[in-house]
Amino acid sequence: MHFQRVKGFQDIYGEQVAYYRQACAIAKELFTLFHVEELNTPILEKSEIFNRSIGENTDIVEKEMFSFLDRDGSTLCLRPEGTAGALRAYIDNGCPKELERLYYLGAMFRRENPQKGRFRQFTQIGVEFIGSSSPFTDAEVISLFDNFFNKVGLSKIAHLEINSVGCADCRRKYYEKLTAYLTPFREELCGDCTRRLLKNPLRVFDCKNPKCANIINGAPLILDNLCDMCEKQFEEVKKYLEIFKVDYTLNPRMVRGLDYYTRTAFEMTTDRLGAASALGGGGRYDKLISILGGPDISGVGFAIGLDRVIALMMEENFAIEKRVPDIYIITFPDTFEQGAALLAEVRKAGFYAIMEYEISGVKAQMKRANRSKARYAAILGEDELKENKISLKDMQTSTQQIINLTQLFNFLRSN
Ligand SMILES: [Zn+2]
Ligand SMILES: [Zn+2]
Q: What's the rounded Cα separation, in Å, for the pair 9 and 122?
A: 8
Ligand nearest to the CA of 228: 1
243 sits in which H/E element: helix 228-243
pLDDT in tens, 58-106: 778 888 999 999 999 999 999 999 999 999 999 999 999 989 999 999 9
**Strand-pair category, 159-164 with 376-380:** unpaired
Ligand nearest to the CA of 207: 2
276 pLDDT exceeds 70?
A: no
Evaluate whether the domain defined by 15-167+227-315 bears CATH number 2.40.30.10. Answer: no
Q: What angle do CA 162, 166, 171 make, to 5 degrees?
A: 140
Q: What is the mean pLDDT of residues 267-275?
A: 87
Sorted by where each begins, the domain ranges of the chain are 15-167+227-315, 327-414
pLDDT, residue 81, reads 95
Ligand nearest to the CA of 227: 1
pLDDT in tens, 368-390: 999 999 999 999 999 999 999 99
Q: What's the rounded Cα separation, in Å, for the pair 142 and 265?
A: 10
**Spatial CA neighbour of 224 closest among 216, 215, 234:** 234
Ligand nearest to the CA of 185: 2
398 pLDDT exceeds 80?
A: yes
Ligand nearest to the CA of 170: 1
DSSP secondary structure letters along 10-42: ----THHHHHHHHHHHHHHHHHHHTT-EE----
pLDDT in tens, 167-183: 989 988 999 999 999 99
C-alpha distance from residue 113 to each of 275, 337, 368 (Å): 11, 55, 43
pLDDT, residue 237, reads 98
Q: What's the rounded Cα separation, in Å, for the pair 22 and 4?
A: 28
In angstroms, what is the span from residue 196 Cα to ligand 2's centroid?
9
In angstroms, what is the span from residue 223 Cα to ligand 1's centroid?
10
Q: What is the mean pLDDT of residues 149-163?
A: 96
In angstroms, what is the span from residue 53 Cα to ligand 1's centroid?
20
Ligand nearest to the CA of 172: 1
Q: What's the rounded Cα separation, in Å, for the pair 392 and 372?
A: 16
Ligand nearest to the CA of 168: 1
Arithmetic mean of pLDDT over the chain: 94
In angstroms, what is the span from residue 201 Cα to ligand 2's centroid?
11
Ligand nearest to the CA of 230: 1
pLDDT in tens, 215-256: 999 999 999 999 999 999 999 999 999 999 999 999 999 887
In angstroms, what is the span from residue 206 Cα to ligand 2's centroid?
8
In angstroms, what is the span from residue 253 Cα to ligand 2's centroid?
14
Q: What is the mean pLDDT of residues 332-351?
A: 97
C-alpha distance from residue 94 to each of 127, 296, 410 (Å): 19, 14, 52
pLDDT, residue 55, reads 80
Q: What's the rounded Cα separation, in Å, for the pair 91 and 293?
A: 7
258 pLDDT exceeds 80?
A: no
In angstroms, what is the span from residue 268 Cα to ligand 1's centroid?
24
pLDDT, residue 113, reads 87
257 falls in which pLDDT band (50, 70, 90)? low
Ligand nearest to the CA of 286: 1
Q: Is 79 in a helix, a strand, or coil?
A: coil
406 pLDDT exceeds 70?
A: yes
The answer to which of 96-110, 271-285, 336-350, 397-411 has the lowest mean pLDDT is 271-285
In angstroms, what is the span from residue 307 Cα to ligand 2's centroid?
28
pLDDT, residue 275, reads 67
Ligand nearest to the CA of 231: 1
**Strand-pair category, 299-305 with 278-285:** antiparallel
Which residues are CB-contacts of 117 (< 8 A; sequence separation ≥ 6)? 273, 276, 305, 307, 308, 311, 312
Ligand nearest to the CA of 190: 2
9 pLDDT exceeds 80?
A: yes
Query: Any bridge partners for residue 68, and if so which?
Result: 76
Q: What is the mean pLDDT of residues 120-143?
A: 97
In angstroms, what is the span from residue 411 Cα to ligand 2's centroid?
68
115 falls in which pLDDT band (50, 70, 90)? confident
Fold: same for 15-167+227-315 and 327-414? no
- Its pTM stands at 0.90
In angstroms, what is the span from residue 137 Cα to ligand 1's centroid?
18
Q: What is the CA radius of gyration of the chain?
A: 28
- Domain 327-414 belongs to what architecture? 3-Layer(aba) Sandwich (3.40)
Q: What is the mean pLDDT of residues 111-128?
A: 90
In angstroms, what is the span from residue 175 Cα to ligand 2's centroid?
17
198 falls in which pLDDT band (50, 70, 90)? confident
Ligand nearest to the CA of 164: 1
Q: What is the mean pLDDT of residues 150-158?
A: 96
In angstroms, what is the span from residue 158 Cα to ligand 2's centroid?
26
**Spatial CA neighbour of 185 closest among 206, 212, 210, 203:** 212
